[in-house]
Structures are given as C-alpha cells and as structure tokens.
C-alpha cells in the first residue's frame, strides 16, 4: 500500500505475540477440536464487517471500480485545492476499504488454514492491494511537483488542514527522492536486491537439515527452531544441552551460505542508502520515521553501562539452579521456581486483565470490557487455526484479537498485551481521520508493552506468597532480558554488520561470527560459558533482513516501562498524557508522541529507568530465592516434574 506509515495491522509483528508468549507447540496435548464444534461465544464475531462471503464479493467489485477510477486521477492533484482534497480523500478511502477487505479475508483464513475458500478470498484481496499500489506510482512524485508554497496556502482551506503533518513528512524527505529515471532504476533493482533475503528464508524454512535428539520421555524429537525453544524451558538439562547442540550444528552446516545471504542484505541496505544520498544505512533507516541517531546509539551505550545487572541475573540463575560447574545458554530460559504452574480459566483471565489495567482509567477499561462483551476475541485453539497471537485493527472494524489460549500465566499476559494493541487501534480510529489511523512503527509495541507491564505489576502488587512473587518477578526479568538486553545485543550486531558492508570489509562466516561472539561474551559476562557454535546465532536472526528492526523492541519496552511507572505512581497528568498518546494515531512523529507521554527517547532516562526497574526486581528475586524451599529441582536426564 502507499501509506507512508504502517497500518495498524502491523501490530502483528509482536516479538512473539506477547513478550514471552513463545509459541510452544504442545507435543503431548490431545488434538484440538474442530472449530464448528466449539462454543461460538469464545470466537470473534466478524459479521459487523461482512454478513457473508457475498457481501465481501460485492464490496470487492465496488473497490475494483474505485481502483480504476484512482488510476484516472493521475495529473489532477495539483489543479486546485478542491482537486487535491478529492485525490487525497479517494486515496484514504481506498486505503481503509482495501484494508477492511484484506483483514476480513485474513482473519477468516486464520480461523482454519486448511480451508481453501478463505485462502482464495485473501489472495484476491492481496491482488487488489497490489493493483492499487502499482497504479499509485505517480502519486507522491506528483504531490512533490506542486510548489510547496501553493500547497501551504491550500492547507488553510477546510478539509485540507488535517494533511499538514502528511505534507511535512513528505517534504522532509524530498532531498532523498531522485529523478524519475533514477527512481525507475531503483524500482527495477528491487527484485534483484531481494534475492538474498529470499534465499535466507528458503534455506532456513525448508532446506536446512534439522537433527533429532531424545526428549525427556525417551522419544526422538526433531529439533526445529520452535522445538528448540520449547526444549530451552525443559527442566531436563541433558535434553536442553542436546537440543542446543542439535540446532546450532544444523545452522553451522550452512554457515557460509548464511553469511553470504546476510552480507547480501547488508549490501542491499548500503546500496539504497548511497543511492538516496544518506551517509549510512542507519541514517536511512532512522530517517524513515524522523528519528534521531541517539535512539540507537544511546540505547546501545546505556544498556552496555548496565551489563553488570545481566551478569548478576546470570549468576543468580546459576545459583538458583544449583549449577555448580558453569552456566550455559541452555540454562537461561528455565523457571527458577519449583512447582507446577497454575492454570487460569478464561473467565478468570478476563477478570485479572480488567483489574490489572484499571490504572489506565475508566475510558480505557470501557474499551477492554467491550472487547470481551462484543466478541472481538477469538480465544481458543481449534483444528487448523493459525498459531500465536495478534491484534487486527482496521479503520472500518472493531480491533479483533486472535489468541490460542491454553490457560498459562503467559497466555493471560498475552491477552493483556494484545488488548493493549487493540486499545490503541480503537482510540486512534475513533479520534483520527483515515489518513492517520495507524501508528508509527517506532511506537508499535509501546501500547501493548505498557498494558502488559501495568497488568503484571498490578498482579504483583496483590501477590504476597513468596513463591508466586518469585515466579512473577522472574517472568518480568525474563521479559527484560529477552526484550531489552537481547534485542540491544542484536542491535549492536546489526550495526556492526552494516558497518562492515559500508567499509567493504570481508563478510565471511568466520568474520561475522567473531563479531557475534565478542558481543555475546560482553553481554553475558565472565560466569557464562560460550559454547562452540553459539556465535552462529548471529547468522540465523530473520530480523537482520529487515533494515534495522530489532532496536525498536528494546526502545519500546523502555518507553513503555517509563510510562507505566508514571501511571502506576499516579503522577499528575500521566494518565491523560497516555490517553492522548493512544488517540494520536500517526498524526505526529513518534519521538514527539513518546516525549509528551512521558518517555523522552532522545535522552538516556527511559533506558536508565528500565534498568533501575530490572535492578529492583533482581534484588527482590535474590532475597526470595535465598529461601531453599523455592529452589527448583535440577533434573539431569530424569523425567520432568513440571514439564509444560
Ligand atoms: Zn505486540
């Protein structure tokens, strides 16, 4: 689509659908029921969008005609203020209507991915979206060709005034727009420059040879990336160690090819940066959202200044797990608290989330209640349903949430997280015109993470039992280890790899893994054993193919933590500023929105505050785990006692 900012559906790029809600395929559970046999009250109600497939088809045909009309508007935008307004409004309409068409088809498809009919609807919607995009190539160049002064005077007219931020954003990047012939050449290069990411995707999804190990039940288990992640949570250390070696050996087999595809992606980014007259790839990536370089370098610097806290966390894990010898990567994910995890019925989860988000105030809580009462949520797993969790908010529908709820605390947190996205979708669409109904990518995970932090903190405040407190605090520390420390570690590598490409350094597997290894060792400290092969991780992170992506996760968490803290302390104005943030959509720049909400990301303060929170939780966990009764069993090659 031609939108300059991601539509709200971008919320699907959650780190893993909730901070720690890793999709753990249940290896032992019974097969889920067919969708038709389940209670419809726990399924989303999409009828407010389209009554049936016929209604969808009628809308599709209407939009086909509208796309044709759009192509015919070429050359008319600059004729008059009225003509400009008409063109902009038609584009907005096409954006939101095609979004509705696609979103419905996607949600129907995800209900049961085995069904062919919704797949076909989705493909038709995609085709129409591509047609719209292809027939829009003239749009921005035509706007840029209109003298700025003329547009400025037009922007004072009724209806057009709302577009001033849109034009500010467009003009801001004018110097990076090239001549028509150069733009044409860049467009022609597109397919060739995507070959490296495509090759990476094919290799890692289909052609890598995964190895088999014995699971704790003595059965053969193929160690694919999802199975690996599940194994990392097993209390059986032998299994974790074998799964670690199996996965990393599979990647090591292909390390030279992986290094070549990664180098290809880094050279792609450098090519476009140079072509568009940016000094570095990072400058180009940040400029897309008008972000200062300090959001990147400041994050890396401030997190590095607090590495000792991560070292302490690793040492605490070693002590709590009674690992007398040493601590490895495969010891980092295990629960530190003994005992089986309790389960939460969905009705209980609903109550916990509504109480947990109460600090955001009645207006916010009203929308969350509505999500439960109006069937915006597709709760349980069924045969063929898409895994994971996401929010799908569009301008012309309520924000829907897909879950695969199984009743763990993680599942309850994921519900709070996705409802955080849903609330932002809702407030943006209620308060903004179609042009600004999404939100800037840099803020995409802030609303969801703030909801998750406030929820967990509220639960923690009401939890007195030491075991339950230790469990919760360990979860929150893991959120931060994986979201702030780990993603900043990745951000450092991302920058280092881009810099190698910009300098023309050789990007062999050995050279890249050496860099990855140095960063790893620095983050995890002296007590951590760098197992052979661990450094191949730097060659398997798909986000490195997305032109600087990972730093957003770490920044979002810290921004959300800073905002959550103000709200939980009931600082004057904090709640109102937060509601204002949610209602802003993308009508302002991300950095301004966050500053006004209480997180000035141009300074180290939000990162420092998040580190302060980490230390506070670490201190308490240290005290709690000193009690022997809470210590986990460290099984080695024994049957798991709290396998989940
Ligand atoms: Zn998310």
Residue 522: CB atoms within 10 A of its CB come to: 13
Q: Which of 99, 289, 381, 418 is catalytic?
A: 418
**pLDDT at residue 4 greater than cutoff 50:** no
Residues 577-596 have a mean pLDDT of 97
Instruction: Please report which confidence band the pLDDT of residue 28 belongs to, taking 50, 70 and 90 as the band edges.
Output: very low
Q: What pLDDT was estimated at residue 637?
A: 37
pLDDT, mean over the chain: 91
Distance of alpha carbon 268 from alpha carbon 281, whole angstroms: 9
Q: What pLDDT was estimated at residue 339?
A: 65
Distance of alpha carbon 192 from alpha carbon 429, whole angstroms: 38
Q: Distance, CA 397 to ligand 1 centroid (Å)?
A: 19
Q: Distance, CA 357 to ligand 1 centroid (Å)?
A: 16
**pLDDT at residue 324 greater than cutoff 70:** yes
**pLDDT at residue 18 greater than cutoff 80:** no
**Cβ–Cβ < 8 Å for 557, 479:** yes
Residues 173-197 have a mean pLDDT of 88
Residues near ion ligand 1 (Cβ under 5 Å): 14, 448
Q: What pLDDT was estimated at residue 7?
A: 32
Nearest CA to 125 out of 102, 143, 104 is that of: 102
Q: Distance, CA 450 to ligand 1 centroid (Å)?
A: 10
Q: Distance, CA 496 to ligand 1 centroid (Å)?
A: 27
Strands (E), 85-187: none
Distance of alpha carbon 522 from alpha carbon 510, whole angstroms: 18
Instruction: Please report which confidence band the pLDDT of residue 341 belongs to, taking 50, 70 and 90 as the band edges.
Output: confident
**pLDDT at residue 362 greater than cutoff 70:** yes
Strands (E), 281-337: none
Residues 592-608 have a mean pLDDT of 97
What confidence tens digit (pLDDT) does each residue in 127-169 have?
Answer: 999 899 888 888 988 999 999 999 999 999 999 999 999 999 9
Q: Distance, CA 424 to ligand 1 centroid (Å)?
A: 11
Higher pLDDT residue, 514 or 16? Answer: 514
Rg of the chain on CA atoms, in Å: 25
All residues at 6 or more sequence positions from 298 whose CB lies less than 8 Å from its CB, including other chains: 601, 602, 603, 604, 607
What confidence tens digit (pLDDT) does each residue in 51-96 have?
Answer: 999 999 999 999 999 999 998 999 999 999 999 999 999 999 999 9
Beta strand 377-378 with 400-402 is: parallel
**pLDDT at residue 627 greater than cutoff 90:** no
Angle, CA of 52, 53 and 57, to the nearest 5°: 125
- Per the annotation, the verdict on 502 as an active-site residue is no
Residues 91-105 have a mean pLDDT of 97
All residues at 6 or more sequence positions from 77 whose CB lies less than 8 Å from its CB, including other chains: 83, 84, 87, 88, 139, 142, 143, 146
What percent of the chain shows pLDDT beyond 70? 92
Q: Distance, CA 10 to ligand 1 centroid (Å)?
A: 9
Q: What pLDDT was estimated at residue 340?
A: 66
């Amino acid at each position: 689509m031609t939108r300059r900012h991601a539509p709200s559906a971008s919320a699907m790029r959650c780190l893993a659908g909730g901070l720690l809600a890793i999709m753990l395929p249940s290896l032992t559970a019974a097969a889920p029921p067919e969708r038709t046999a389940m209670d419809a009250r726990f399924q989303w109600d999409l009828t407010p969008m389209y009554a049936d497939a016929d209604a969808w088809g009628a809308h599709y045909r209407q939009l086909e005609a509208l796309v044709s009309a759009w192509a015919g508007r070429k050359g008319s935008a600059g004729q008059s203020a009225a003509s400009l307004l008409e063109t902009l409004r038609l584009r907005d309409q096409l954006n939101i209507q095609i979004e509705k068409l696609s979103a419905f088809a996607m949600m129907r498809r995800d209900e049961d991915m085995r069904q062919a009919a919704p797949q076909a609807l989705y493909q038709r919607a995609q085709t129409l979206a591509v047609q719209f995009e292809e027939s829009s190539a003239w749009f921005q160049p035509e706007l840029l060709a209109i003298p700025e002064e003329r547009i400025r005077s037009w922007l004072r007219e009724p209806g057009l005034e709302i577009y001033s931020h849109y034009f500010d954003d467009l003009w801001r990047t004018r110097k990076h727009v090239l001549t028509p012939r150069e733009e044409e050449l860049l467009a022609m290069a597109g397919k060739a420059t995507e070959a490296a990411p495509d090759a990476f995707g094919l290799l890692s999804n289909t052609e890598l040879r995964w190895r088999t190990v014995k699971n704790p039940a003595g059965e053969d288990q193929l160690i694919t990336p999802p199975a690996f992640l599940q194994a990392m949570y097993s209390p059986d250390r032998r299994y974790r160690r074998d799964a670690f070696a199996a996965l990393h050996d599979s990647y090591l087999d292909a390390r030279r090819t992986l290094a070549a595809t990664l180098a290809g992606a880094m050279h792609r980014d450098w090519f476009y940066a140079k072509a568009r007259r940016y000094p570095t790839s990072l400058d180009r990536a940040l400029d897309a959202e008008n972000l200062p370089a300090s959001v990147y370098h400041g994050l890396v610097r401030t997190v590095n200044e607090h590495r000792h806290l991560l070292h302490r966390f690793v040492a605490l894990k070693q002590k709590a797990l009674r690992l007398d010898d040493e601590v490895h990567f495969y010891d980092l994910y295990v629960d530190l608290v003994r005992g089986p995890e309790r389960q939460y019925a969905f009705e209980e989860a609903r109550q916990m989330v509504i109480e947990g988000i109460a600090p955001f105030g009645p207006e916010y809580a009203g929308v969350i209640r509505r999500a439960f009462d109006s069937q915006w949520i597709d709760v349980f797993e069924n045969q063929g349903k898409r895994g994971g969790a996401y929010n799908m908010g569009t301008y012309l529908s309520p924000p829907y949430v897909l879950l695969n709820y199984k009743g763990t605390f993680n599942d309850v947190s994921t519900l709070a997280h996705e409802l955080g996205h849903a609330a932002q979708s809702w407030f943006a669409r209620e308060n903004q015109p179609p042009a600004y109904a999404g939100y800037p990518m840099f803020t995409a995970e802030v609303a969801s993470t703030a909801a998750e932090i406030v929820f967990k903190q509220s639960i923690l405040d009401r939890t007195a039992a030491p075991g339950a407190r230790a469990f919760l605090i360990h979860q929150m520390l893991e959120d931060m280890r994986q979201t702030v420390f780990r993603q900043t570690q990745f951000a450092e590598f991302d920058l280092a790899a881009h810099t190698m490409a910009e300098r023309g350094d050789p990007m062999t597997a050995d050279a890249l893994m050496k860099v990855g290894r140095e960063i790893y060792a620095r983050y995890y400290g002296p007590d951590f054993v760098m197992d052979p092969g661990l450094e191949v991780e730097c060659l398997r992170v798909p986000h490195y193919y997305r032109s600087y992506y990972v730093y957003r996760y770490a920044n979002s968490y810290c921004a959300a933590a800073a905002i959550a803290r103000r709200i939980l302390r009931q600082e004057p104005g904090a709640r109102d500023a937060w509601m204002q943030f949610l209602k802003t959509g993308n009508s302002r720049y991300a950095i301004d929105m966050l500053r006004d909400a209480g997180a000035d990301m141009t300074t180290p303060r939000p990162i420092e505050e998040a580190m302060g929170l980490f230390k506070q939780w670490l201190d308490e966990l240290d005290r709690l785990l000193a009690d022997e009764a809470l210590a986990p069993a460290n099984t080695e090659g024994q049957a798991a006692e709290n396998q989940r």
